[in-house]
Amino acid sequence: MLKKFIYTAGVSMLALGTAQAQTSTAPTLGQKLFDDGVSISLNYTGEAAANPSGGIRQGGDYAGQVFLGGDFDMSKIAGLTGTSVHIALTQRHGRNLAADYIGNNTSVQEVFGTQNVHLAYFTIEQKLFNDRLDITAGRTVANIAFLNSPLYCQFQSNSACGNPTFIFKDSNFTYFPASSWGGDAKFLFTPDSYIHAGLYEVNPVDKTFLAHGFDLSGNHATGVVVPAELGYTPDGNLYAIGGWYDTGAYSDPLNDATGQPALLAGQPYATHHDRSGMFLRFNQTVDSTGLAVFGVFMTKLSGEVNENQYYELGAVQTGTFAGRSQDTIGFVVNDQEFSNAFLNNIALARESVGGTGNIAHREIMMELNYDAKLTPWMTATPNVQYIINPDQSAEPYRKTNIKNAFVVGLKFTVDLARLGGFAPPQ
């Protein structure tokens, strides 16, 4: 049904776009909807990736996402000042190169995950005190409100987009589009400073391919994750410190319930609750050059975790060649430092099959890309990625280390709503 809807909508949009081109002086449907308080989003993102060298074996995979969303300004629709409603559905499909061919657990295709039709969010937002307080609640995910930046999703690698991957390795931080109950509140002390905090249900079932986001019962929830951040945003830059506390259930990376290595004992890994971590991050524009740089540092504070620390640095240059003022060039590199428990678990698996050799204590991932604005409604982002020391979590019983992987990728997005005139004005 969704595919039929997308096809029908696409054909209608193309026809509408042609009609509007012939009568360019008339307001677009998108403008009319916006004036009435409705903003429609419909886009398709595709991400292809292949590893011509390194990894477990050579191959290629493709993953894609259809996004359909709407934002409703209830002050225009129903006279409710400061109130808006947000809803979005996704349909994801395809395969994961990292799992199929490379052997690490950080994807090189950021739209892979929750491969089905899913309710990504359905929230009510209320702004108060002249917009100084902004509260959002409903079915949602933590990672669209916290630890994100427009700079991060310049990249196809899931190590950076949509959030630094460390937060998902060391907590039950909820991610798009696997929605659960939750919400956040952001208060502006001044126009350039804020405090931001949230609370999100931890429900492992919501992250599986069997869930669709429409089970509102909260069954199978194991706790909550609570992120918070203090930020300073002078001239559009960002300097922030924050952290999280996670009460949800998680598995020990090494031991069973008796404190012995689970792999040797043939027992399930122990289940724990309560872990925490902190982060520092910044985005900084360099004068008027079009260059923006960013960085992230993250560390665990408590709990039995897979990774101890994470470091990231990146840069995005807007404006490249003559006549390409909207194109960007981006580079990012990040470093995931594994915990001793995680490494010992891999070492035990390797020794059990007669393997030898030291296991690297960190994985480094990097990407260089060029984002080309081909039309007002389509972008294409060819990229190259390199992974040093793939973490081997996909194949812990290998006898030797996985080779460093070289990846070539292509990310593209088609804004179907803008193509057909349904999009709100820019």
What pLDDT sits at residue 357? 74
Distances (CA, A) of 67 to 72, 144, 156, 177, 352: 17, 14, 17, 10, 45
3-class SS of residue 404: strand
Regions in the chain scoring below 50 on pLDDT = 1-23
In the Cβ-directed half-sphere of 177, how many Cα atoms lie within 13 Å? 29
Q: What is the spatial distance between Cα 377 and Cα 326, in angstroms, rounded to a whole number?
A: 13
What's the predicted TM-score (pTM) here?
0.89
Residue 343 makes CB contacts below 8 A (sequence gap 6+) with: 359, 361
| DSSP assignment letter at 113 | S
On whether the CB atoms of residues 237 and 198 are closer than 8 A, the answer is no
What pLDDT sits at residue 217? 86
What pLDDT sits at residue 25? 54
What pLDDT sits at residue 22? 46
What pLDDT sits at residue 207? 79
Bridge partners (DSSP) listed for residue 27: none
Q: What is the spatial distance between Cα 159 and Cα 152, in angstroms, rounded to a whole number?
A: 9
On whether the CB atoms of residues 110 and 47 are closer than 8 A, the answer is yes
Spell out the long-range contacts of 84-88 with Cβ–Cβ below 8 A and sequence spacing 24 or more.
84/124, 84/125, 85/123, 85/124, 85/125, 86/121, 86/122, 86/123, 86/125, 86/136, 87/121, 87/122, 87/123, 88/41, 88/119, 88/120, 88/121, 88/122, 88/177
What pLDDT sits at residue 320? 93
Residue 284 makes CB contacts below 8 A (sequence gap 6+) with: 237, 238, 292, 293, 294
Bridge partners (DSSP) listed for residue 385: 367, 407
Tally Cβ neighbours within 10 Å of residue 38: 17
What pLDDT sits at residue 26? 63
Residue 195 makes CB contacts below 8 A (sequence gap 6+) with: 186, 187, 189, 228, 229, 230, 231
Q: What is the spatial distance between Cα 152 and Cα 154, in angstroms, rounded to a whole number?
A: 5
Residue 210 makes CB contacts below 8 A (sequence gap 6+) with: none
Domains of the chain: 45-420 (2.40.160.180)
Residue 322 makes CB contacts below 8 A (sequence gap 6+) with: none
